[in-house]
Amino acid sequence: MTEGPAESELDSLLSKRLLFVTGKGGVGKTTVAASLAWLASSRHLRTLLCQVDAKGDLQRMFGHGHIGFQPERLRQNLWAMTMDTEAALQEYLKIYLRMPIMPRLGPLAKAFDFVANAAPGVREILVVGKLCWEVREDHYDIIVVDSAASGHVVSQLASPKGVGELFKVGLVSDQTTWMSQILSDPKRSGVCLVSTAEETPVQESIELAEDLENQTDISLALVVANRVFPSVFSKTEGEIFEWLDSNDQRGVIEKAVGKGWDGLVEAADLWSSISSMNKRYVQRLRSEVAGSVPLVEVSEVISVPAGFGLINEVAESIEAGLS
């Protein structure tokens, strides 16, 4: 029997059913989540992109109108929704307790708030529960979640375990059991940790990876080092630049081209120092966060405006890095 081509890291990533994209604020979580969803839908996977906060960044990136709790179709095989705890609670009550959807939950919402404030994890489990339910019902092949930033995502992902410890028997216990099974299965669920290659985001990523490891059962599936400045000069070119910028040469060049040369040298210096700093921090991400998990570098995209063009470029980088 002849064996088919080996599964690439990207195939393996996109064969999961639930991918939580997280990282420090502002590092590119929404961009990476949108790019992964774009890649999945390009490969004919029925894809749901779910944003957990309602800041509207996805709408802006895709140039789409309002995206609410009910999924909106963005293109063939790609839908997007915004998580909403109250709508998720209503949907839960309808599915499991056959309660009709109400315009407002009124007193029930107050009762829910009371329980949610008293019992940690109850609010968070609605978010994770809705996503796991979509997996269980097989509505999509893959769900990519533009998750909350570092701190909050751990309590969301730990919630089925925490709530399961509060309710040992009954309906809630049954539900936390199947949710935990989905989340703890590395074939079905994973976290994609995004970081820029700088001191604070890398430090935060190291801590986040430790918290996920210690407090949840979900596995790390991918590390994305985002906005990396590629090195533009080889070692020899760098030496030539240094020589041209030496005192002897500088006078000659300035005589020929004027003071403009200074700006060029400063720009080249700045680029080189950011690029070598990025290189060091990518290395740290590789050794202290990723370990045996794939790490992909995504370059700082300069030539296209933010929005759809950026998603496309980032998707191409991820595809190339994981093939």
Ligand X SMILES: Nc1ncnc2c1ncn2[C@@H]1O[C@H](COP(=O)(O)OP(=O)(O)OP(=O)(O)O)[C@@H](O)[C@H]1O
Q: Which stretches of the chain bind ligand X, using CB under 6 A?
A: 25-31, 57, 149, 226-227, 298, 300-301, 306, 310, 314
What would the two tokens of residue 85 be? 């705890």
Smallest separation, CB 136 to ligand X (Å): 27
Q: Which does 301 bind (CB under 5 to 8 A by kind): Mg ion, ligand X, none?
A: ligand X
Show the binding pattern over residues 39-78: x = contacts Mg ion (CB under 5 A), - = does not: ------------------x---------------------
The binder of Mg ion chosen from 30, 47, 77, 216 (CB under 5 A): 30
Smallest separation, CB 312 to ligand X (Å): 11
Closer Cβ to Mg ion, 30 or 175, answer by number:
30
What would the two tokens of residue 106 be? 């009124």
Q: Which does 28 bind (CB under 5 to 8 A by kind): ligand X, Mg ion, none?
A: ligand X
What would the two tokens of residue 123 be? 């609010």
Smallest separation, CB 159 to ligand X (Å): 21
| Residue 195 makes contact with Mg ion by CB under 5 A | no
Q: What angle do CA 97, 102, 106 make, to 5 degrees?
A: 100
184 contacts 218 by C-beta, under 8 angstroms: yes
Q: Are strands 72-75 and 78-82 parallel, antiparallel or unpaired?
A: antiparallel
Q: In the block, which residue shows the tokens 């794939």?
A: 294
Closer Cβ to Mg ion, 74 or 163, answer by number:
74
Smallest separation, CB 57 to Mg ion (Å): 5
Closer Cβ to ligand X, 218 or 315, answer by number:
315
| Nearest-10 crossing angle of helices 260-285, 235-244 | 150
Q: Which does 227 bind (CB under 5 to 8 A by kind): ligand X, Mg ion, none?
A: ligand X
Give which of 243, 266, 246, 262 is closest to 254, Cα–Cα: 262
Smallest separation, CB 32 to ligand X (Å): 7
Smallest separation, CB 209 to ligand X (Å): 16
- List, in order, residues 6 or more apart from 60 with CB less than 8 Å away: 307
Smallest separation, CB 101 to ligand X (Å): 29
**196/27 Cα distance (integer angstroms):** 6
What's phi and psi for 222, nearest 5 deg?
-160, 145
Position of minimal CB gap to Mg ion: 30
What's phi and psi for 199, nearest 5 deg?
-50, -60
Closer Cβ to Mg ion, 25 or 251, answer by number:
25
Closer Cβ to ligand X, 60 or 73, answer by number:
60
Q: Which of residues 289-308 bind Mg ion (CB under 5 A)?
A: none
**153/248 Cα distance (integer angstroms):** 57
Q: Which does 31 bind (CB under 5 to 8 A by kind): ligand X, Mg ion, none?
A: ligand X
3-state secondary structure of 294: coil
**306/30 Cα distance (integer angstroms):** 12
Smallest separation, CB 208 to ligand X (Å): 13
Give which of 143, 320, 289, 310 is closest to 223, Cα–Cα: 289
What's phi and psi for 54, nearest 5 deg?
-110, 40
Closer Cβ to Mg ion, 89 or 298, answer by number:
298
What would the two tokens of residue 83 be? 């998580």
Closer Cβ to ligand X, 81 or 122, answer by number:
81
Closer Cβ to ligand X, 185 or 300, answer by number:
300
**Interface with Mg ion by CB under 5 A: which residues?**
29-30, 57
